[in-house]
A and B are shown apart, each in its own frame.
Chain A
Amino acid sequence: MNRVLVWYGELTTPGALSRRGLLFLLPAALWLMAFLVLPSLALVAVAFAERGTYGEIVWTFSLENLKRLLGYGLFGWSPDNLLILGRSVWVAFVTSLIAALLAYPLAFFIASRPPRTRYLWLTLVIIPFWTNLVIRTYAWQLLLSPELPFARVAAALGLAEPGTALYPGSFAVYVGMVSAFLPFMVLPLYSSVERIDSSLIEAAKDLYASRARVFFQAILPQTLPGLTVGIILTFIPAMGMFVIPDLLGGAKYLLVGNLIQQQFGASRDWPFAAAISLGLMALTLVALRVYRRSGKDVDLV
């Protein structure tokens, strides 16, 4: 049956409309196919293959890599890999949390500037992106070196041995991570803070709310969209980060990103590396799912 309809002033048929729709979708679909679906499938395939003697991929089906990821190695079970995965989730979580805590005052500060200088402050937030992450991370090595004020103050307060650098270690990793991801948190949060309806804040104050109650009832719900984007933009890349833990954490603070890098690189064990990557992907999806679920009805004070 040839049904005819009017679509935004154009006389057409349902068939012609859906054909045109598919045509418009095609480039995006091809793009996703080439750069997301196919590589992911390849990764899954490799994860179930085996490593040859010289690091080549041997295409025999095996669950060995997944077992290794869960800790069953040649010498019995060890928690190392799971520890590294768990630590990565923890570091990503703490990084997101600290970045969010720092981003709120910063976003409010920028939003309260007069419009002309506001863009100057935003530019200052973005400027670190002009320098490569590796260079910024090396810069932290310099800043945390024994002769400079940070280390001296820490030594004077008894927080570190005098004459030692503040890296490698977990502290340096957090410093590096938070400074690298802060802009990803500030920018989306700022876009929410800028649009905030201040009458809700005044209403909360008018209704006897304490400072905490004003924040949780009037500010947080309004900035939740920006915060959500900021957390996703921080948490996911932080889970897979390897440059910062490599340069600032050393062997003391291995994260899953370093593990994958080692396996793909020095160890030449692509199948195991692929298995770890799958594990990381699974963890990320689980984390996002948990976050979305709890974010839907955020329990507030």
Chain B
Amino acid sequence: MAVIRPSAKVQARAATGTLAVENVVKRFGEVTALGGVSLEIKAGEFFTLLGPSGCGKTTLLRIIAGFELPTAGCVRLGGEDITAVPANQRPVNTVFQSYALFPHLSVFENVAFGLRSRGFPQAEVQKRVETVMGMLQIERFMARYPHQLSGGQKQRVAMARALVNEPQVLLLDEPMSALDAKLRAEVQVGLRRLQRSLGTTFILVTHDQDEAMTVSDRIAVMREGQVIQVGTPEEVYARPRTCFVAEFLGAANLIPASRNGSGVKTALGHLELPAVPQWEEGNLAIRPERVEIVPEPRGSNCVQVQVREVVYRGSHQEAWLEPGGLRVRAAPYPPLRPGEEVVAHLPKDALVVLDD
């Protein structure tokens, strides 16, 4: 991807304010899109709003951009309340899902749009547009029109059009959903590098957990207008707080359990836990790659199981074990065979006690 040479100006500006969302509620008639969301996004952070469609993540982004007014609550940037500041006066720019490039303007004029709106002199416009286009490697499309560009090129033009304004916060509304899988992976890495070198706060909206894990410093998992959990990709993946988070990010085995002394009783028998759960009955989670197949029982949390089904995936094999329908992801050798009796070890520190 692009080798990025940010201007001194861009770096100097990196230390601007925190974006705070405080108790934001948004209702559309009877429907509550956001039911009291609070977030604090530090300057220079790559923050992702992750959730299934209809969870309110795009609504939240639109409130931050200034396209929607919240029903209640406020948005602060660097301590200043910007809730009622119109979109065209916010130091915030957006990369739209559809890119929303102006079809009647050339790539150059599209990128120059924001600068021209603010009445920058021609020489300054020329200089800034060329710099940002060089950064994103789109100089050679300068004279083309949006309909002459591929999806990936459009995406870069949309990025350039937003970044040329040197926003304090860049909002990205599923900017990669229109790209094919291979290009998307490439763009994700490029996006992360770009954000690192610019030091601008990026807020990404996506429903793709891989994308969120690849690019983010922190992730907010959303569901039905609520933020369920906020944390680094590691925290959210390894320490999910609810069944929803555990299942939404990657694959997870959910094990219903009831408290039994210091451990819990489950369909797999008695399991020891790293911490005593708060509930009498609830759920545990364990990632398939954390389940170990061992030659013979050793210590606690070992279960005698039977292999029901095996899928060979090249880099690993996936197997479903009975009882409990436990899913396991193991090294491809030695191969497991359906019907085989094996011992599964569920390491104590790999078991996560969920809140629900």
Contact = CB atoms under 8 A, between A and B. Distances in A.
Contacts of B145: none
B117 A208 contact: yes
A207 B161 contact: yes
Contacts of A204: 102, 113, 117
B103 interface: yes
Contact of B102 (A203, A205, A206, A210): A203
A194 interface: no
B114 A207 contact: yes
B149 to A, nearest CB: 16
Given A203-B96, A204-B113, A209 B103 contact: no
Interface stretch (B86-94, B198-206, B320-328): B86-94
Contact of B165 (A197, A199, A208, A218): A208
A76 B308 CA distance: 109
A205 B100 contact: no
B336 to A, nearest CB: 50
Given A203-B101, A204-B117, A205-B66, 10 more contacts: A199-B96, A202-B100, A205-B88, A206-B66, A206-B88, A206-B93, A206-B162, A207-B113, A208-B118, A221-B104
Interface in B91-131: 92-94, 96-98, 100-105, 113-114, 117-118
A294 to B, nearest CB: 15
Interface string B153-193: 00000000110010000000000000000000000000000
Interface residues of B, number: 26
A209 B88 contact: yes
Contacts of B104: 221, 300
Interface centre among A203, A204, A213, A221 (most CB of B within 10 A): A203
Interface in A211-226: 213, 217-218, 221
Nearest to A209: B117
A207 B165 contact: yes
Nearest to A301: B116
Query: A-side binding surface: helix, strand, loop or mixed?
Result: helix
A217 B102 contact: yes
B279 interface: no
Contacts of B100: 197, 199-200, 202-203
7 contacts: A202-B87, A204-B102, A205-B67, A206-B92, A207-B113, A208-B117, A209-B88
A218 B88 CA distance: 14
B65 interface: yes
A211 B113 CA distance: 14
Contacts of B67: 202, 205-206
Interface centre among B88, B92, B114 (most CB of A within 10 A): B88
Interface of B: 65-67, 86-89, 92-94, 96-98, 100-105, 113-114, 117-118, 161-162, 165
Contact of A200 (B97, B102, B165): B102
A205 B98 contact: no
Contacts of A217: 102, 105, 113
Contacts of B86: 205
Interface centre among B103, B114, B117, B165 (most CB of A within 10 A): B117
Contacts of B92: 206
Nearest to A211: B88
A205 B162 CA distance: 12
B102 A208 contact: no
Nearest to B67: A202
Contacts of A206: 65-67, 87-88, 92-94, 162
B102 A202 contact: no
Interface in A18-72: none
A208 B89 contact: yes
Contacts of A221: 102-104
Instruction: State the 7 A-B residue pairs at the shortest beta-carbon distance, nearest first.
Output: A207-B114, A203-B100, A208-B117, A199-B100, A205-B87, A221-B104, A209-B117
B98 A199 contact: yes
